[in-house]
Amino acid sequence: MSHSLIKKGDRGSDVALCQRSLTEKGYPTTVDSIFGPGTEAKVKEFQGDNGLSVDGIVGQNTWRLLLKVVDSCGIEKKHIVHNGKLIPIGWDKVILWHEPGGLAIKPGRYYDNSQKDERKPTMFVNHWDVCLSAESCTNILNDRGVSVHFCLDNDGTIYQVLDTQHGGWHCSRAAGNKKSIGIEISNAYYQKYQKTYVKNGFGERPIQTEGLVHGRKLKPFLWFYPIQIEALKALWTAVSVSYGIPLVYPQNDDGTPCTTTHEGCIKGTFEGFCNHYNFTDRKIDCAGLDMPGLIEEVKVFLPDDD
């Protein structure tokens, strides 16, 4: 999917991202989400200094240089985006919707919070997509008029498909959608697709035999590749550190993991990491995901308080 092209007269979070990136690159620009004459002038200045066509239009080549961030050793650092702000993530396979090969949710398929107060997500919701790839998943989401913020592909690549400033339509509950960040993890689920994964060069998927949800044990099904689990942990870490989402999961009264609907998730009052099945008994994803174990592993990556 191509970049989101923006120019004078456009508005929204993409414009804010452009304005913040210009400022961080040494071209101070007012961040007001409005692509006016001032922003256009800074874009042209940036383009001229970087050997780009000076047209004031932010297309693929301009986005590529605007969003490139390197460390002191010249190594490119990866990030995700919230309300036009770059959020660091400790994972080297991240592609934003603007970047070459990026995937994007189309307008009209989410709560558009452009030029509104900064959204403060309090939940992170895990899904599996029952698709063979992140690209296929994104296409289906757009066709169905729904949305998440991230898609996690078979090779561990994290695609950010929507700025987390916007509210995705993904967890079957309006209250949850307005408070959450959502991810679709690529996994076709049914074992009949195992040969397809092998044919496509990804190798055999693990088989999940401990999927318990809504009081019943599921028949064995395809599970996530280890690299997908590692990528998910890296994203959970970034989200917890930068967004302040607590590293907790829905629990029953006795402290055991809740593997069915959870009142706090349904009402949008829960704060932490959860699964789609916590919102409705019509969904089973991501049954089998070891929430306590993964949470403890993520805590190891958190920076010390002192």
The stretch 104-130 carries a mean pLDDT of 95
The least confident of 96-100, 127-131, 144-148, 175-179 is 96-100
pLDDT tens, residue by residue, 248-278: 999 999 999 999 999 999 999 999 999 999 9
The stretch 18-29 carries a mean pLDDT of 90
Q: Residue 201: pLDDT above 50?
A: yes
Which sign, positive or negative, has the C-alpha torsion 156, 160, 166, 172? negative
Tokens 């997509």 correspond to what residue? 129
Q: What b/e string do you get for 100-128 counting C-beta neighbours within 10 Å, with b at 16 or more?
A: eebbbbeeebbeebbeeeebebbbbbbbb
Position 219 confidence tier, pLDDT thresholds 50, 70, 90: very high
Using N-to-C axis directions, what is the helix angle for 13-24 and 37-49, rounded to 10°?
Answer: 50
Among 76, 72, 41, 73, which residue's Cα sits nearest to residue 57?
A: 41
Sheet with 94-96: strands ordered across: 94-96, 158-160, 150-152, 180-185, 123-128, 272-275
Gap between the Cα atoms of 248 and 74, Å rounded:
36
Q: Residue 66: pLDDT above 50?
A: yes
C-beta separation of 213 from 259 below 8 A: yes
Q: Residue 235: pLDDT above 70?
A: yes
Q: Where is pLDDT greater, at 208 or 116? A: 208
257 pairs with which residues across the strands? 251
Position 3 confidence tier, pLDDT thresholds 50, 70, 90: very low
Position 74 confidence tier, pLDDT thresholds 50, 70, 90: low
Q: Where are the domains of the chain?
A: 1-67, 93-299
Look over the chain and give the mean of its residue pLDDT values, rounded to a whole number: 92
The stretch 96-118 carries a mean pLDDT of 91
C-beta separation of 250 from 263 below 8 A: no
- Whether 1-67 shares its CATH topology with 93-299 is answered no
Among 154, 231, 230, which residue's Cα sits nearest to residue 188?
A: 154
Mark residue 37 as left, alpha or beta (left: phi above 0; alpha: psi -120 to 50; beta: remaining): alpha
**Rounded to two decimals, what is the model's pTM?**
0.82
Structure-token pair, residue 281: 């008994």
CATH of domain 1-67: 1.10.101.10
Model pLDDT, residue 2: 41
The CATH fold assigned to 93-299 is Lysozyme-like (3.40.80)
